[in-house]
Structure 1
């Protein structure tokens, strides 16, 4: 284990986080929010105090393997969250540090679960930072570093960091150099974010609201700057957000294929077709189920499309209290929050790609039982799925189920309803935010004890990093030298 290079990368990220706080500090100073400004100054000072010494000199030993990659990614996400909570705590926005960490982890992991009962009373600088954590966490903190600064040459650091941080069963290169791959991904990400901001401004949304809403949509996070989430905005603005939530739930490799005019590969991508098919089918089913609750089918379709897009992409914005919808629609939304978006997107959940691979794996097992002497290979987009990928997906699902069961049991000590406990775990582990019961779209997580909040905070980190980087931190063999 090369501890020195791990510390070096963490130090660089902490320095970068201090820079990212500068716009929020500027907003607080402009608005005369002195407490919030002081909070940002304290946090930035602490980040530089730790980050500069750790990253001042590039280590001589630059070896960087898969183990260093998993450990670096896991530690970075924990550390940036602990420091990122300081502005809320010292700025007076959130008096409890546990609550501040919960809110910050929810931001960076693009979960959108909140302990705030009155969002609009928070300082604008803190609200900006809260939403910006979504945007930064959506594509990945380390992916951003890879996009702006080439890593240590010949060490393999870029590939190991990208694979450990990026969501999905497998991560590959768009171009030969990982640095260029990261730049392409963030270029697409920035372009789509700016396009959404322009369309929101065209619909009359205030600049601050447009920027923070675009941050929450792009990162599929869901932190809103209004107490009623998106319910108070016009149908046009809600429709723009509906479309962009669905767009950011698509694998970014698809956008790259479109850029290089590989239209056939993009449009016939198996995961994309299943993702859109499930989304459109769910919208139709929910529309029929809730049509009696609204004056017209058009309005029912509008709210159904928004909530299905929001839940399936694990964004978490709301235009209606779907906690009051019929049981069929509520149950379908819970299934969608578990499924999630595409691999390689900013969305959470188990990912559509894993669902496809699981179905193919089960189908192959049944075929082998019926035809013991035959050989049938699982394929996806024409390529053979190797045993490592199949095993990885099965292992992921097994550990996922164990984490859900243990977490639901632990938070049950707070004595809330089964519906609240289970959907809270699902909402945090799948990085969605709202669940059902007390944690519905018009509720929040403030009623949970500090212990339960820590459990759910761990769920958010585990879900965003797709389990294994966090589990790697807990295994003693990870830390052995050699």
Structure 2
């Protein structure tokens, strides 16, 4: 057999059981607020749990537990799709989003931590369903940690190997024996930071329900909010708390772990983190100065708006504190560029990732030197360590394919009578898992007006971007399906 279908089915069954269990967590919320959505949540949870048990029962007699690379590619992609299909059930059954295309779009936007939404009146949605909406992002963020730690390096996805080398307790030659121990550490960190933010938001004056939901979607760098206006009109202290945790969520979780262990030398010797920190600071200064000149607002207000939106876009969280498309044409272009940056490898952030940009620029400058000294050996170095040439090639291929997918996506979306600006913004923000874009999908708008075909296209782009392109594109290769 080309694929170990029984093991694949068993893992998908486990994912459905986890999914159904998280759905059940929404039931107390619904009952507490006395809303009608408890029936939809209960039904969805039973269907999902039942499907998971059935799948595990069918595949109970496994011949082998060994997974090959082909199995890995199939599990990752199929897992996200299956989770999204079943995750859409609460929306459909409750009538909050009765249309399947819209419900699937909202769900995959959640699991991929994109944050693009088709809901026009979020505050009218029952609290139980809103909590499930936030949980989909939190589940997706937690899944990305495991994906980056265990699966992508195994599949040879460039850039992720650099993260693995930094993971606490892991060495490249002893990845598998330590993987469970490391995953537990990072999960505890993920849960702990989520709770810490929820408590901080509560004491800053946010309603407990809103505090929990926003902490779930902040640490996932997802950006789903329980309010129509996102975080535009909240207390400045709340915005600063969210900024801090957004930045933390966009940082490699292994570095955060080292920081909590007071190993600050490890943190500040990490080149990706230094670039991430410096880039955020420089862009924030540029935006702040521009706002002071153009909008004539108080310094603190301009600085806070600038810092919030810069961090939100770089980390691909997508929360909104102001309509940045109305500030100045120059800033609209700058923020569009930020859609292609992404956070750190090993974080919940989407996008290209800072480490890939560092490798690209370093290799480009070295190429100029190589032209003058063709015989010299000049490896790309990250944090003082030479990067394997195979990883450099993988990173360059990733960025080239990313640009190609972006252009194809814009072309296809434009063919559906979507205007140029909106097509550029929608494709960039979906592929980068950011949320808000430009045009009709700007920070104060949503994706409800997209044609049905466009929503399915953008859903596919969200999945492509979240799973690092190669994981999904590999399944489209005829070579993948050949017997070997």
1:133 to 136, 140, 147: 136
- Correspondence list, 1:48-63, <5 A: 48-56=49-57, 57=60, 59-63=62-66
CA–CA separation in structure 2 for the residues paired with 1:307 and 1:178: 35
The answer to whether the 8 Å contact 1:140/1:166 transfers is no
Pick one of 64, 68, 71 that aligns with 1:68: 71
Offset at residue 69 of structure 1 (A) = 1.4
1:85, distance to aligned residue in structure 2 (A): 0.5
Residue 233 of structure 1 corresponds to: 234
Comparing 134-143 with 16-25, greater Cα deviation is found at 134-143
Q: How does 1:279-318 map to 2 (within 5 A)?
A: 279-291=280-292, 292-318=294-320
3-state SS, counterpart of residue 21 of structure 1:
helix
Instruction: Give the CA deviation at 1:165.
Output: 11
Indicate conservation of the 8 Å contact 1:167/1:466, yes or no.
no
- CA distance in structure 1 between the partners assigned to 2:258 and 2:106 by the alignment: 36
Report deviation, 1:58: 5.8
Q: Taking structure 1 as reference, are residues 189 and 142 closer, same or farther at Cα in structure 2, changes over 3 Å only? A: closer
* 1:209-241 deviation line (CA, Å, top 9, x unaligned): 000000111001111111100012101101111
CA distance in 2 between partners of 1:163 and 1:313 (Å): 25
Residue 478 of structure 1 and its aligned partner are, at CA, apart by: 2.6
Give the secondary-structure state (helix, strand or coil) at the position aligned to 2:25. Answer: helix
Flag the 1:167–1:280 CA change in 2: closer, same or farther, 3 A: farther
User: 2:151 is matched with which residue: 140, 149, 160?
Assistant: 160
Secondary structure at 2:132 match in 1: helix
Give, in whole Å, the separation in 2 of the partners of 1:120 and 1:272. Answer: 37
Asked if 1:101 corresponds to 2:104, the answer is yes
Matched residue of 1:318: which SS? coil
Shift of 1:166: 9.4
1:150 is aligned to none
Q: 1:371 aligns with which of 356, 370, 373?
A: 373
Q: Residues 427-438 of structure 1 correspond to what in structure 2 (within 5 A)?
A: 427-438=429-440
**Residues 166, 465 of structure 1: 8 Å contact kept:** no
2:123 corresponds to 1:120: yes
Unpaired segments of 5 or more residues in structure 2? Answer: 171-177
* 2:168 alignment partner in structure 1: 174
- Tell me which residue corresponds to 2:89: 86
What is the distance in 1 between the residues matched to 2:180 and 2:157? 14
1:400, CA displacement in angstroms?
Answer: 0.6
Give the deviation of 1:256 after TM superposition: 2.2
Number of equivalenced pairs: 469
**Structure 2 residue aligned with 1:406, among 408, 423, 430?**
408
Equivalence for 1:206: 207
Runs of 4+ in 1 over 3 A off after TM superposition: 158-169, 479-482
Question: Are residues 165 and 208 of structure 1, via their aligned partners in 2, closer, same or farther at CA, if it must alter by over 3 Å?
Answer: farther
Residue equivalent to 2:441 = 439
2:472 pairs with 1:478: no
Aligned CA distance change for structure 1 residues 399 and 66 (closer, same or farther; 3 Å): same
**SS of corresponding position for 1:406:** helix
Counterpart of 2:19 in 1: which secondary structure? helix
SS at match of 1:414: coil
2-structure distance, mates of 1:245, 1:160: 25
Tell me the alpha carbon deviations over residues 272-315 of structure 1, each in whole angstroms, 9 at most, x when there is no partner: 11001000000000011112325311111110010001011000
Q: Report 1:221-300 matches (<5 A).
A: 221-291=222-292, 292-300=294-302
Give 1:168 deviation, angstroms. 4.6
Deviations 1:26-79 (A, max 9, x none): 222332322x22222332222123211222326231111222112111110010
Q: 2:350 & 2:281 partners in 1: Cα distance?
A: 19
Equivalent position SS for 2:390: helix
What TM-score results when the alignment is normalised by the length of structure 1? 0.93
2 CA distance for matches of 1:159 and 1:441?
34
What is the distance in 1 between the residues matched to 2:279 and 2:429?
19
Q: Call closer, same or farther: CA 1:166–1:185 in 2, change over 3 Å.
A: farther
Q: Distance in 2 between matches of 1:357 and 1:442?
A: 35
Aligned residues of 2:4 and 2:71 also touching (Cα < 8 A):
yes
Separation (CA, whole Å) in 2 of partners of 1:297 and 1:165: 47
Asked if the contact 1:348/1:430 (under 8 Å) is kept, the reply is yes
Given the two structures, how large is their TM-score scaled by the length of structure 2? 0.93
